[in-house]
């Protein structure tokens, strides 16, 4: 996970680098460092701690170089410390490297380099890279020695990497290359900007080169050259990205998470876009799945991690209900190792906000090898997963910066819903009236979300009452259980309160033993067909002394419950989009009451590019 930034241009590099690192801090924030080319010599400044700590390093403000690399770290190999921070240099201090990813064979490479006289100052996997470059450089005889050495060194690496390399011997050059870790290059008016993601660069440019695996890029002054794996030069298309720069700012909100929660009506409106209109067939002309193909599919797999997997659980309900095709949902890290029964009659859907999650991408590759068609659902144009999949459809939630996902989740659920309607239209698996009703309900979601957002004050008050608690339960049935899972995950992620999510009907099979006086049980209750059974489950916990919070779209005024939070009614399949919002707000306000860093919770990173 880790974020990397680079700059080659006409301006002072270090303020641009620190600015970029600040935007990428969501990717890791235990150490930070920069290297700037100062009069032909690489100057490295780094330490453990947040990016802002860099400003305390003496001499930072004296840097004048116009080419530099930078890194914000999420420790994998070696504790957060100055020695383990990036950039790392080779023993002769000729090459400096920042790296995002994991070098799986670093022990082997370390042993090889040690046998050849190299020594190591850090516990990181990264330190082998500059030393390996030095090793190949010292043996290289070709004209293009620097590039050839980087190519040979990276050819030895197993695992994932996005790297930037500087050398004292080539003070105007930077070499950049990636494999399975994200990296984009923006072309600004005053130079080239490199970063792990697009939002970090939106204030400089909308024009981006999206690098493929092993696409070696050499930037020198105002020139940029691209080479393939065998160092054959080629032209590369520049892509214009439409996101507004302000989308990556807080716009008056205290935290990105709160801003992103409030952006959900817009995110959903944008995601619906022109895909769904009343009286017209759904528009997926970008993927154009044929009836012949879809009729051969006997199973759909939905694979993802974290919040995206929770969106997949509701996607399953949509597809099974509307298309009559069985759907299996799995977390990517389990799916890929369980030898799933996938074949050419399977359609495999992968959901990933970032499009960079290592396990999800690996699961996609596995399904492709097994002969299935793959469809990616992502929020990031040109992200790695979109380049691997047969089909890609995008959520248009805009950049999501807070580590805990909110608007991406609701956008994913909506897009999966529209996809299911599209499949149902192709397969003619449900009647037109059902299709029209659900379309109408989807189109009404943005305004109904506004009502859910109005629960903010109520959730803030509830947060004040319960923020000191150590354990909580979330319960629900059907899609409400999916929301319970997501609500519980949000709470854990940003408030560090332990919580469990249970299907209400399972309570009696164990967890009810943990219910005692004063414990909070949060219940989601939106499906009229299940209301009586769910109410019985709530009564069972109240009888044992639990305090309850109930998120519902039903009229429970005669049931005598405390803390009832109302959201609007909609099609039962769509209710997660409305009922999750009070839970997002509750977690947010609990985290604030506890004085925690909402956007950057401990130990977490937004984009998990390691397995
Ligand atoms: C991390 C993030 C979660 C996210 C998950 C999957 O755990 O903290 O918010 O749901 O990764 O990320 P993806 O980008 O693949 O949706």
Asked if 448 and 460 sit in the same domain, the reply is: no
CA atoms of 106 and 127, how far apart (whole Å): 9
In a domain, 215, yes or no: yes
Asked if residues 223 and 254 have their Cβ atoms less than 8 Å apart, the reply is: no
pLDDT value at position 245?
66
In a domain, 601, yes or no: no
- Tell me the per-residue pLDDT of 485-498, one tens digit each, with 9 for 90 and over: 999 999 999 999 99
606 as an active site residue: the answer is: yes
In a domain, 431, yes or no: yes
For residue 217, the SS3 value is: strand
Asked if 37 and 70 sit in the same domain, the reply is: yes
pLDDT value at position 143?
87
pLDDT value at position 399?
85
Asked if 588 and 460 sit in the same domain, the reply is: yes
pLDDT value at position 552?
96
What is the chain's alpha carbon radius of gyration, rounded to the nearest angstrom? 25
- Residue whose token pair is 């389990």: 334
For residue 40, the SS3 value is: coil
Q: Which of 452, 474, 496 is the last residue of a domain?
A: 452
Cis peptide before 87 (omega within 30 of 0): yes
- Going by alpha carbons, the residue nearest to atom 13 of ligand 1 is 352
Which atom of ligand 1 has the smallest separation from the CA of 305?
6
Asked if residues 378 and 385 have their Cβ atoms less than 8 Å apart, the reply is: yes
CA atoms of 263 and 123, how far apart (whole Å): 42
Domain count across the chain: 3
Burial class (CB in 10 A: 0-12, 13-18, 19+), 240: exposed
Region of residue 292 (phi > 0: left; psi between -120 and 50: alpha; otherwise: beta): alpha
Asked if residues 604 and 326 have their Cβ atoms less than 8 Å apart, the reply is: no
Asked if 435 and 506 sit in the same domain, the reply is: no
Asked if residues 396 and 270 have their Cβ atoms less than 8 Å apart, the reply is: yes
* Contact 604 CB / ligand 1 (< 6 Å): yes
- Going by alpha carbons, the residue nearest to atom 2 of ligand 1 is 606
Report, as ranges of residue numbers, the positions in the chain whose pLDDT lies below 70.
1, 244-246, 610
Which residue out of 606, 609, 610, 611 has the highest number of ligand 1 atoms within 8 Å of its CB and is therefore the one to mutate? 606
* Contact 360 CB / ligand 1 (< 6 Å): yes
Asked if 400 and 464 sit in the same domain, the reply is: no
173 as an active site residue: the answer is: no
* Cα(432) to centroid(ligand 1), Å: 36
Q: What share of the chain is helix, strand, coil (3-state, %, to 5)?
A: 40, 25, 35
Distance of alpha carbon 225 from the chain centroid: 30
Angle (CA) 537-538-544 rounded to 5° is: 95
For residue 564, the SS3 value is: strand
List CB contacts of 557: < 8 A, sequence separation 6 or more: none
Parent domain of 66: 3-242
CA atoms of 42 and 121, how far apart (whole Å): 18
* Contact 403 CB / ligand 1 (< 6 Å): yes
Element (H, E) at 434: helix 432-453
Asked if residues 490 and 482 have their Cβ atoms less than 8 Å apart, the reply is: no
CATH number of the domain residue 577 falls in: 3.40.50.10490
pLDDT value at position 181?
84
In a domain, 605, yes or no: no
Asked if 106 and 214 sit in the same domain, the reply is: yes
Smallest Cα–Cα separation from 358: which of 182, 12, 78, 610?
610
* Contact 405 CB / ligand 1 (< 6 Å): yes
In a domain, 598, yes or no: no
Q: Among the options 2, 43, 323, 367, which is catalytic? A: 2
Neighbours of 242 (CB within 10 A): 9
CA atoms of 134 and 397, how far apart (whole Å): 43
In a domain, 530, yes or no: yes
Burial class (CB in 10 A: 0-12, 13-18, 19+), 76: middle
Asked if 63 and 169 sit in the same domain, the reply is: yes
Asked if 516 and 385 sit in the same domain, the reply is: no
Asked if 229 and 319 sit in the same domain, the reply is: no
Burial class (CB in 10 A: 0-12, 13-18, 19+), 592: buried
For residue 176, the SS3 value is: strand
The CA distances from residue 372 to 99, 326, 330, 390, in Å, are: 33, 15, 16, 10
- Residue whose token pair is 């490295």: 44
In a domain, 602, yes or no: no
Asked if 438 and 496 sit in the same domain, the reply is: no
Asked if residues 71 and 2 have their Cβ atoms less than 8 Å apart, the reply is: yes
Asked if 468 and 444 sit in the same domain, the reply is: no
Smallest Cα–Cα separation from 91: which of 132, 124, 123?
132
Which atom of ligand 1 has the smallest separation from the CA of 357?
15
pLDDT value at position 250?
79
For residue 316, the SS3 value is: helix
Phi/psi at 444 (nearest 5 deg)? -85, -10
Asked if residues 483 and 489 have their Cβ atoms less than 8 Å apart, the reply is: no
In a domain, 599, yes or no: no
Q: Which of 225, 242, 259 is the last residue of a domain?
A: 242
CATH number of the domain residue 183 falls in: 3.60.20.10
Q: Which of 452, 484, 502 is the last residue of a domain?
A: 452
Asked if 233 and 346 sit in the same domain, the reply is: no
């Amino acid at each position: 996970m880790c974020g990397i930034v680079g700059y080659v241009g006409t301006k002072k590099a270090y303020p641009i680098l620190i600015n970029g690192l600040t935007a990428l801090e969501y990717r890791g924030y235990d150490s930070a460092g920069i290297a700037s080319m100062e009069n032909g010599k690489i100057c490295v400044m780094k330490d453990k701690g947040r990016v802002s700590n860099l400003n305390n390093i003496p001499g930072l403000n004296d840097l004048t170089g116009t080419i530099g690399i930078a890194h914000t770290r999420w420790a994998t190999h070696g504790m957060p410390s100055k020695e383990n921070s990036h950039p790392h240099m080779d023993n002769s201090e000729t090459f400096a490297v920042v790296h995002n990813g994991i070098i799986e064979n670093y022990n082997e490479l370390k042993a090889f380099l040690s046998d050849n006289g190299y020594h190591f100052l850090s516990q990181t996997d990264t330190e082998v890279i500059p030393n390996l470059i030095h090793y190949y450089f010292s043996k290289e005889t070709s004209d293009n020695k620097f590039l050839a050495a980087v190519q040979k060194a990276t050819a030895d690496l197993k695992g994932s990497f996005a790297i930037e390399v500087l050398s004292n011997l080539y003070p105007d050059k930077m070499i950049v290359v990636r494999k399975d870790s994200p990296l984009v290059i923006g072309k600004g008016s005053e130079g080239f900007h490199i970063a792990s993601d697009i939002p970090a660069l939106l204030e400089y440019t909308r024009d981006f080169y999206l690098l493929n695996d092993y696409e070696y890029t050499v930037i020198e002054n105002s020139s940029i050259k691209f080479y393939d794996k065998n160092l054959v030069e080629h032209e590369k298309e520049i892509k214009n990205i439409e996101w507004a720069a302000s989308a990556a700012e807080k716009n008056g909100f205290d935290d990105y998470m709160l801003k992103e929660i409030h952006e959900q009506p817009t995110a959903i409106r944008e995601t619906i876009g022109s895909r769904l209109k009343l009286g017209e067939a759904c528009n997926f002309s970008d993927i154009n799945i044929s009836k012949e193909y879809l009729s051969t599919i006997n199973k759909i797999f939905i694979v993802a991690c974290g919040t995206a997997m929770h969106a997949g659980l509701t996607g399953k309900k949509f597809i099974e209900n509307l298309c009559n095709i069985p759907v299996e949902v799995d977390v990517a890290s389990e799916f890929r190792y369980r030898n799933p029964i996938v074949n050419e009659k399977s359609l495999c859907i992968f959901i990933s906000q970032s499009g960079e999650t290592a396990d999800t991408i690996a699961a996609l590759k596995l399904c492709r090898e097994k002969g299935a068609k793959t469809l990616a659902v992502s929020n990031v144009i040109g992200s790695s997963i979109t380049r691997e999949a047969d089909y890609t459809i995008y959520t248009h939630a805009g950049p999501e910066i807070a580590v805990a996902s909110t608007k991406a989740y609701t956008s994913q659920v909506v897009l999966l819903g529209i996809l299911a309607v599209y499949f149902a239209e192709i397969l003619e698996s449900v009647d037109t009236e059902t299709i029209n009703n659900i379309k109408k309900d989807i189109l009404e979601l943005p305004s109904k979300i506004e009502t859910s957002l109005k629960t903010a004050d109520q959730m803030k008050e509830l947060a004040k009452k319960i923020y000191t608690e150590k354990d909580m339960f979330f319960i629900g049935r059907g899609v409400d259980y999916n929301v319970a899972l997501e609500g519980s995950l949000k709470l854990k992620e940003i408030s560090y309160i332990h919580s469990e999510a249970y299907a209400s009907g399972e309570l009696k099979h164990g967890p009810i033993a943990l219910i005692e006086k004063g414990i909070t049980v949060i219940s989601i209750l939106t499906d009229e067909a299940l209301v009586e059974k769910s109410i019985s489950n709530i009564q069972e916990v109240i009888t044992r002394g639990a305090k309850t919070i109930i998120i519902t779209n039903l009229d429970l005024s005669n049931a005598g419950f405390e803390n009832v939070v109302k959201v609007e009614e909609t099609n039962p399949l769509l209710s997660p989009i409305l009922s999750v919002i009070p839970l997002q707000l509750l977690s947010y306000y609990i985290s604030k009451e506890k004085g925690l860093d909402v956007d950057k919770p401990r130990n977490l990173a937004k984009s998990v590019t390691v397995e």
